[in-house]
Structure 1
Amino acid sequence: MEKVLYTSGAAKELGIGVSTLRNYAVVLESKGYHFERGSNNGRIFREKDITQIQEMIERMSEDGITVDQAAEITAGQSGKIEVLVTESEERVELDIDRLCEKITLLEEQQTNLAEMNRKLALQVERLTEKIEERERDQQLFEMMENARNRKKRKGMPFLRSFTFSDKKSLI
């Protein structure tokens, strides 16, 4: 859980006086930095706020810049961080919107493909029935042809008694 301090606790943690911390906070706020406020309108210092003020103090001592300049740099950096977070949140929202659109499209395509699959299954069923009918018709045709050929053969023995050999004997 994040540590939350009020002015006196934050000043103690930073090793500075309460009035100095208040002055730094006022200058930071004038540069656009935002501190949360408690129920009594006192500033609430979170870990990120304490870190920002610590960096501001280090800049003033190391770089020899004024409180105003250090506050401007610190407030500018925190603003960039907030903008980056906002931009990334917007990108995430855009990505989610795109994904939702793609999911909707894919669901529609799946529905279309299911319908096409159903129609193709019906066509396959009809073609199978036609193939079976043709095979049955082919079998019937062959059976009729065989029966006709048998009838022709049955009629032949009657004519067999009059062969050429018999005709020679008559002459």
Structure 2
Amino acid sequence: MENLMYTSGAAKALGLGVSTLRNYAVVLESKGYHFERGSNNGRIFREKDISQIQEMIDRMAEDGVTVEQAAEITAGQSGKIEVLLDVPSEKMDLELKKLCEKITLLEQQQTNLAEINRKLAVQVERLTEKIEERERDQQLFEMMENARNKKKRKGMAFLRFTFSDKKSTI
């Protein structure tokens, strides 16, 4: 007979605090994992639940992933295993064929997206070059304008100088 535990017993078995185990269970449930509930709505932990949480803890320790990531991996794997065990072989073949078709479609979409990304990168490069050209043209225009203004000022100073000389000699 399978060993069933409530939260406190499962926490002791895993070497965790009760609140930590509850937090892990909540994260697992948010990723699609299902725990049985007792009459008081408390979680009932079976041996497979304990091993799933232990696997999650091991992933966090060994792989350095977050609680969310470990729960997603653990919940995803357990769900796939249970689904595959419940499916007859004819249906499994059909499901595998559908999955292969979906994978092929996703690969085509990924290729298309990569091509679009490449084209966008080329456009960004062209736009960057145009922006740089405009900035350079703007700087050249400002330099020409400054040079023209300096010549005007020199010419005005020359005229003032010449007119003031003529007034003093008269």
TM-score w.r.t. the length of structure 1 is 0.52
Q: 1:39 to 1:83 in 2, by over 3 A?
A: same
RMSD between superposed Cα atoms in Å: 1.7
Q: CA deviation at 1:81?
A: 1.1
Q: Residue 37 of structure 2 corresponds to which residue in structure 1?
A: 37
Alignment of 1:63-78 (within 5 A): 63-78=63-78
Q: 1:61 to 1:43 in 2, by over 3 A?
A: same
Q: 1:89 to 1:4 in 2, by over 3 A?
A: farther
Structure showing greater radius of gyration is 1
Deviations 1:91-118 (A, max 9, x none): 6xxxxxxxxxxxxxxxxxxxxxxxxxxx
Q: 1:90 to 1:2 in 2, by over 3 A?
A: farther
Q: CA deviation at 1:86?
A: 1.9
Task: Give the unaligned 5+ runs of structure 2.
Answer: 92-170
Q: CA deviation at 1:88?
A: 3.3
SS at match of 2:45: strand
Q: Residue 3 of structure 1 corresponds to which residue in structure 2?
A: 3
Q: Residue 114 of structure 1 corresponds to which residue in structure 2?
A: none
Distance in 2 separating the partners of 1:56 and 1:47: 14
Q: 1:25 to 1:90 in 2, by over 3 A?
A: farther
SS at match of 1:54: helix
Deviations 1:48-102 (A, max 9, x none): 00000000000000000000000000000111011112213886xxxxxxxxxxx
Q: Paired residues, what number? A: 92
Q: 1:90 to 1:41 in 2, by over 3 A?
A: farther
SS at match of 1:5: coil
Q: Residue 52 of structure 1 corresponds to which residue in structure 2?
A: 52
Alignment of 1:152-163 (within 5 A): none
SS at match of 1:20: helix
Distance in 2 separating the partners of 1:55 and 1:88: 28
Distance in 2 separating the partners of 1:47 and 1:56: 14
Distance in 2 separating the partners of 1:13 and 1:68: 22
Q: Residue 160 of structure 1 corresponds to which residue in structure 2?
A: none
Amino acid in the other structure paired with 2:72:
E
Task: Give the unaligned 5+ runs of structure 1.
Answer: 92-171
Ranges of 4+ aligned residues in structure 1 off by more than 3 Å: 88-91
Q: Residue 81 of structure 2 corresponds to which residue in structure 1?
A: 81
Alignment of 1:115-154 (within 5 A): none
Amino acid in the other structure paired with 1:18:
V
